[in-house]
Structure 1
Amino acid sequence: MNHTTFLLVYVDHILVTSNNPSVIQQLISQLNKSFSLKDLGEIDYFLGIQVKHTTEGLHLSQTKYVHDLLCKAKMNNANGMNTPMISGQQLTMSGSGTVQDIQLYKSVVCALQYVTITRPEISFCVNRVCQYLKDPQEEHWQAVKRILRYLKNTIQYGLHLTYSSTLNLVQFCDADWASSPYDRRSTFGYCVYLGNNLVSWCSKKQHIVSRSSIEAEYRSLAGITAKITWLTALLSELRLILPRTPAVWCDNLSTVLLFENPILHARTKYIELDLYFVREKVIQKLIDVRHVPSSDQIADLFTKAIPSSRFSLLRSKLRVLDLSTLSLREDVRIIK
């Protein structure tokens, strides 16, 4: 029988898992011959990430980390918010006055980047405030404080990983054309599911200006195609065979149809390399690009600030859930 074992090492912290418990014990015994180890049993807390064992899987959160961050920013007694950013809000480069404590702004924003490990729904907002680290204005600090208020209101929320009967790789990608008001670069985002679980996500501003919405969407599609190629290779090394071609869901119908058209037009010459790259992967049946209605586009959460009702819906689809609503396992013991 083949055994699969994973070892994650960060300084003096080691996390090991395997599909065979005896292999874990053998590895720990071998390591203990050369190093002084303390076996803490099943994972409970690792690098600021709190792990709770539920009846369906694992719940990953950063409750303590967020609480410490709120205290650092003197926001621990602030009122909570239902969303991390006002719907449709546009931040500007200047005009509201430089913040009094620039180092605090930079420190809090960098800490928020780490929070996105278990809170993918704030990725877009954090990406936005990160763009003003060089010269943060009071308007940007107010945006940061709203993110903190949202985290305070949802401090028990985290990423819920559950058991899955299939290992289908499914992706959603989207782009918000010319969304940046001062350089007109587009924002693109994607999220990747392996079975029922969210395993990868991104919210980022494109490096160059797109001349049309289809250009912005196709660059987003090329980005997620590259990610799929890497993930497929990784899963192959782990001896995991995908049961079907990875599906990519895009809400721009013109983009979906473009790779099927062998004729290049003037409007597509700026994305010619991306076009051939995606088309090649489709021909090789390494990806399957499909159209999804905008109302069902989960990646919207990574490209723009959206209203509260829709935000809550998409957050749940990302499997970011409140720990208090889940059933915990009672047989987990941590041995020190």
Structure 2
Amino acid sequence: MTLRSLGFNSAKSDTALFMRFTPTSKTYVLVYVDDIIITSSSSSEIISLIAHLNNKFSLKDLGPLHYFLGIEVQHHSDGGILLSQSKYIRDLLHKTNLLDSKPQPTPMVSGLKLTADGSFSVQDPTHYRSIVGALQYITVTRPEISFSVNKVCQFMHKPQEHHWRAVKRILRYLQGSITYGLHIKPSQQLHIMGFCDSDWGSDPDDRKSTTGYCVYLGPNLVSWSSKKQVVVSRSSTEAEYRGLAAVTADILWLQNLLKELRVPVALPRIYCDNLGAVHLTANPVMHSRTKHFELDLHFVRDKVLSRELVVIHLPAEFQVADILTKAISNPQFTTFRSKLKVSSASTMSLKGGVKGICQTGS
């Protein structure tokens, strides 16, 4: 599909998605305030739509689509795109005086467990919160830092020096991978695959577990999450099952969106490395040890029994969602980062962007 960007002054809503279907083409329009992206299977349809909008609004052609809401778009020779935030990362490194710092191979030391207490409070908590807030936005194109950023976010209320050291580790990792971004490429096979994992009782302060999951549409990563569970899980199976429920809800939302976009998809599959949790999705017997998480249990099981999705066991060494639940070693991190489709612009064959229309004047 061809991508075009444009803008106009009188947009009324924050975010909206419009669709237009003809017998020979599909056209989608994404509107965020006064910034717009148009994509279509027909270039002539895009030209016609832009001409129609130009009759009603003042538009200005600023060339190819390269930048949108702080996200850089680089076009790949295979028809795909690389979404990155190199400029945003450089600005953040300059703000923290780490632009020339020694890079690190991973965003967090393997096996590190951050605690609420253990050192002195930082001198400027506001600065800590500002930097961590910026790191949260970078996870839009850098899913591999989601776990590390989620951990340092948990100490916003009372940041200490060892928390700040963890933040600087993330920044030094980004310093060595500024050109990396999320690679999205066209594909004819639009099957949905979800990977979920949980690190049971991993928080040393409250023994709550961390859940991580990632969802692929065909070969492309489209959704991911790293989050501490809201309640304490009494077993590793329970922790994993709560992760199953989270990724199931996300996949159902994605299915509904694709249905509205008239995109047919095959039966979704979820891969989990906990055999007990996988067995519970199909076991009709309610054991007493599972009654304290019955809602999640029934939610996932109902979807499995109605054949809306399939849950499959996956050996732990192949569980890509592991990168979203804990700090892992450098070799494992590098392998899973690649599986998340995060790559460097220097390793890709890039080409010029598609001509587009951007911000307007009044």
Pairwise same-fold verdict (TM > 0.5): yes
Q: How many residues align?
A: 335
Q: Distance in 2 between matches of 1:12 and 1:52?
A: 22
Is 1:286 matched with 2:305? no
Q: Using CA pairs under 8 Å that are at least 6 residues apart, name the structure with larger relative contact order, 1 or 2.
A: 2
Q: Distance in 2 between matches of 1:249 and 1:183?
A: 28
1:26-65 counterparts in 2 under 5 A? Answer: 26-56=48-78, 57-65=80-88
Q: 1:183 to 1:103 in 2, by over 3 A?
A: same
* Counterpart residue number, 1:90: 113
* Counterpart residue number, 1:74: 97
- Greater Cα offset, 293-302 or 13-22: 13-22
Is 1:309 matched with 2:331? yes
* Counterpart residue number, 2:235: 212
Spell out, residue by residue over 1:38-70, the C-alpha distance to the aligned partner (whole angstroms, 9 max, x if none). Answer: 133441111111111011210111000000000
Counterpart residue type for residue 146 of structure 1: R
Q: 1:28 to 1:136 in 2, by over 3 A?
A: same
Counterpart residue type for residue 149 of structure 1: R
Is 1:136 matched with 2:136? no
Counterpart residue type for residue 258 of structure 2: L
* Counterpart residue number, 2:320: 298
Cα displacement (A) at 1:264: 1.0
Q: 1:331 to 1:77 in 2, by over 3 A?
A: closer
* Counterpart residue number, 1:253: 275
1:133-282 counterparts in 2 under 5 A? Answer: 133-242=156-265, 244-282=266-304
Give TM-score scaled by structure 1 length.
0.97
Contact 2:65 2:354 in 1 (8 A): no
- Greater Cα offset, 39-48 or 94-103: 39-48
Spell out, residue by residue over 1:253-309, the C-alpha distance to the aligned partner (whole angstroms, 9 max, x if none). Answer: 111011222111111011111111111101111110000000000000100000000
Match of 2:122 among 77, 96, 99: 99
Q: Distance in 2 between matches of 1:103 and 1:330?
A: 41
Give TM-score scaled by structure 2 length.
0.90
Q: 1:254 to 1:262 in 2, by over 3 A?
A: same
Contact 1:44 1:334 in 2 (8 A): no
Q: Distance in 1 between matches of 2:154 and 2:178?
A: 25
Match of 1:17 among 22, 39, 59: 39
% identical aligned pairs:
55
Contact 1:18 1:24 in 2 (8 A): yes
SS at match of 1:84: coil
1:318-333 counterparts in 2 under 5 A? Answer: 318-330=340-352, 332=354
Counterpart residue type for residue 338 of structure 2: S
Give structure 2 stretches of 5+ with no counterpart. Answer: 1-22
Spell out, residue by residue over 1:18-40, the C-alpha distance to the aligned partner (whole angstroms, 9 max, x if none). Answer: 12212211221222222211133
Counterpart residue type for residue 69 of structure 2: L
Cα displacement (A) at 1:310: 0.4
Contact 1:203 1:302 in 2 (8 A): yes
Q: Distance in 2 between matches of 1:119 and 1:331?
A: 21
Counterpart residue type for residue 62 of structure 2: L
